[in-house]
Amino acid sequence: MTLLRFRMFERALDHKPVEVKAPSRNPSDYFGEKVFGRQQMRKYLNKQIYEALLDTIEKNTPLSTDIADAVAAGMRGWALDNGADHYCHWFQPLTGGTAEKHDSFSEPDGIGGMLEEFSGKVLVQQEPDASSFPSGGIRNTFEARGYSAWDPTSPAFIVDTTLCIPTVFISYTGEALDYKTPLLRSITAVSNAATEVCRYFDRSVERVKVYLGWEQEYFLVDDALWSARPDLVQTGRTLMGHESAKNQQLDDHYFGAIPQRVLAFMRDLEYECLKLGIPLKTRHNEVAPNQFELAPIYEEANLANDHNQLLMTIMGKVATRHNFRVLLHEKPFKGVNGSGKHNNWSLGTDTGVNLLKPGRTAFENLQFITFLVNVIAAVHRHNGLLKASVMSASNEHRLGAGEAPPTIISTFLGKQVSEVLDKIEESLGNQDIRFDSKNVFRMGGLAQIPSLLLDNTDRNRTSPFAFTGNRFEFRAVGSSDNCADAMIVLNTAVAEALTEFRTKVDAKIQSGEKRDKAIYETIRELIRECKAIRFDGNGYSEEWRKEALQRGLDCETSAPLVLDRYLDPQSVDLFEKLNIYSHKEIEARTEIKWEQYVKKIQIEARVLGELAMNHIVPIASKYEDVLLDKVCKMQKLGLKTETDIKLIRNIQNRTATIQTLVGEMIESRKVANNIENTREKAIAYHDTVAAYFDRIRTEIDKLEEVVDDQIWTLPKYREILFVK
């Protein structure tokens, strides 16, 4: 291998696990110590201020200026006591990441000294520049003003020495420029609609909460080898690279023993996250080499989403301490599994009832079926929009790739639940709805193994939206995604379904039907309406694709065309009537998604072209010269040279093909760049620019197989994926 590649690989092998000193305390002792949570509030706020702030958090009661000033004073005192010297409004712009501008607590006192100041006005509102963030045309470069406003429902926290205050981010003219604002709107919409339906069953319900439990998949690669791969550095994925002879085909990495260096990273990450109140629970090896997963305990959706965004930042910081790089791209390596971020979603009442969990009585199960069927109906009506919420240039590589959900949204319910819905559909009147709570399964001949309790559903890994016993798991969300995008659509669609359900049931009751019968009959109608979305079979099969088309489901796979679903009249009506997005906001966000698609493919095309022409072709030509010199010498000695000449021709043909394809790709990019309409430009990049990627890659990967390893400059899959 080349000297550069050897040095990079040597550095990777030299890395020792960073020693992580185990905290002398139990996690329960330091959990949330960097968060201005209720325990800290009680200490730094007086009782009146504390109770007023709780009313704002739990009941949406407005905060007066005096209360805000008192909260700011307490927050400042806590922050200074914990080593903070700056503060920032922490928000989630439409870049997909987070944003923060740090300001010092210190202010001149007018007599040559400094004071630590932090007022309620600064806590509640600031004015970051709105022109430099994606706005989809809402903000022009010369229209810079935007506002960030405190979200009291998500507690402030300290990272390093900065107090971070979660906020929404809106334009000067009031449009949302972030993910948090519409997420909060959607949570309110589904909570209000679900609460009204809950009161058919329990009049004491005052509020329904939306819960989210995300599962974060990611790759770890050695920092030295990452640095030697320009494609990984600039795009997050390998644009070339022949598969390793051994990858994941032996299924030996999944749930295997965690490598020592990785375990040190995980322990360090968990410690940092627990201090920040992120309740991490699970860690394990995933299917692909160097792929891992972590997951927290469920939280309310707004806080859970904030925690996932914070986690992705913390992961990167901790990884550098351990000489790793975290890859959150959905498909960083060809030939092995990509990474997702499964979103486990459920609804629960303020009285402690999980609305998506089967009950013990017929009445409880009627409530369960009511919410289950309304969720299914929502997914059926807006399956294309739900797909659009998770579609991107990076997730496009993963969806339908054989290890992730297909690009057809369907719901898996399991045998028992499906049978119950079928019986309800076929029945003529109101009947008791019952589920076997859990079947007992005994391990035959193994007396030492305790009896197992079988859940009322199996699992289906090919289903994008699967019911898993007490929640739905939306498995199509990408590993780099902001969870809010998918949750906004799901919450809004369910809110619409529940609102229409309530209207229909009330109409039946007013016409003289008994309440339970009215509910039951409306459920039957919904079951018939949304039957096309239910599928418990193999989502990867070609037969399913054909059947899904016949069922009328959205089967589009092109990301730019999938994004059209946001602008469908049905989608616009959905968002507008529930006050989630204005028409202007929908158009702006769709424009941003198309624009981001163009830019990501554009970057990949540039990197691929540069690597092909500046690395691969010169390397192959250099090896070709070596072979030509060898052939000349062998011919002088009268030795046979047919095999070497065949290899030379193979290399020459492939380098010529690469040069031709790269030239054509560049010309296609020039044509696409001249298209003014962003949607049409995105389609052109998908159809005419990205179409060259695999063709160029195939030629490069074939060269990697035959060119002398001693002169190949780029670290190979066998090196990147198996560094311990």
Residue 411 parent element (H or E): strand 411-412
Sign of CA dihedral 251, 252, 257, 262: negative
Alpha carbon separation from 458 to 32, 293, 344, 573 (Å, rounded):
36, 21, 16, 36
Q: Is the pLDDT of residue 406 over 90?
A: no
Could you tell me the pLDDT band of residue 106, with boundaries at 50, 70 and 90? confident
Secondary structure letter of residue 532 according to DSSP: G
Q: pLDDT digit string (tens) for 502-555?
A: 999 999 999 999 998 999 999 999 999 999 999 998 888 889 999 999 999 999
If you search the block for the tokens 């008994």, which residue do you land on? 514
* Low-confidence winner among 145-149, 152-156, 556-560, 676-680 (lowest mean pLDDT): 145-149
Residue 364 parent element (H or E): helix 362-381
* Two tokens, residue 420: 């119950």
Q: Is the pLDDT of residue 451 over 90?
A: no
Could you tell me the pLDDT band of residue 445, with boundaries at 50, 70 and 90? very low
* Two tokens, residue 454: 């079988």
Q: What is the pLDDT of residue 429?
A: 53
Helix, strand or coil, per DSSP, at residue 16: coil
Alpha carbon separation from 241 to 289, 698, 724 (Å, rounded):
15, 9, 20
Alpha carbon separation from 18 to 21, 126, 266, 611 (Å, rounded):
9, 40, 11, 33
Q: Is the pLDDT of residue 90 over 80?
A: yes
* Low-confidence winner among 129-133, 250-254, 339-343 (lowest mean pLDDT): 129-133
Q: Is the pLDDT of residue 12 over 80?
A: no
CA dist 607 and 51 (Å) reads 56
CA dist 591 and 589 (Å) reads 5
Q: Which of 261, 236, 349, 344 is nearest to 295 (CA)?
A: 344
* Low-confidence winner among 44-53, 317-326, 412-421, 449-458 (lowest mean pLDDT): 449-458
* Average pLDDT rounded to a whole number, residues 128-150: 77
Q: What is the pLDDT of residue 58?
A: 87
Q: Is the pLDDT of residue 16 over 70?
A: no
Q: What is the pLDDT of residue 626?
A: 94
Q: What is the pLDDT of residue 8?
A: 57
- Strands 146-150 vs 125-126: parallel, antiparallel or unpaired: antiparallel
| pTM: predicted TM-score of the whole model, two decimal places | 0.93
* Average pLDDT rounded to a whole number, residues 478-488: 97
Secondary structure letter of residue 715 according to DSSP: P
* Low-confidence winner among 629-638, 650-659, 683-692 (lowest mean pLDDT): 629-638
Helix, strand or coil, per DSSP, at residue 449: coil
* Low-confidence winner among 105-119, 242-256, 273-287, 436-450 (lowest mean pLDDT): 436-450
- Strands 452-454 vs 465-467: parallel, antiparallel or unpaired: unpaired
To 5 degrees, how large is the angle CA 372–CA 196–CA 425? 35
Beta-bridge partner residues of 56: none
* Average pLDDT rounded to a whole number, residues 576-599: 97
Q: Which of 91, 96, 90 is nearest to 593 (CA)?
A: 96
Mean pLDDT score of the chain? 90
Looking at mean pLDDT, say which of 23-32, 449-458, 487-496 comes out highest: 487-496
Q: What is the pLDDT of residue 452?
A: 37
Q: pLDDT digit string (tens) for 303-317?
A: 999 999 999 999 999
Q: pLDDT digit string (tens) for 328-373?
A: 999 999 999 999 999 999 999 999 999 999 887 877 888 999 999 9
Cβ atoms of residues 646 and 654 within 8 Å: no
* Average pLDDT rounded to a whole number, residues 643-657: 96
Q: What is the pLDDT of residue 437?
A: 52
**What percent of the chain shows pLDDT beyond 70?**
90
Q: pLDDT digit string (tens) for 171-202?
A: 888 899 999 999 999 999 999 999 999 999 99
Cβ atoms of residues 374 and 501 within 8 Å: yes
Could you tell me the pLDDT band of residue 721, with boundaries at 50, 70 and 90? very high
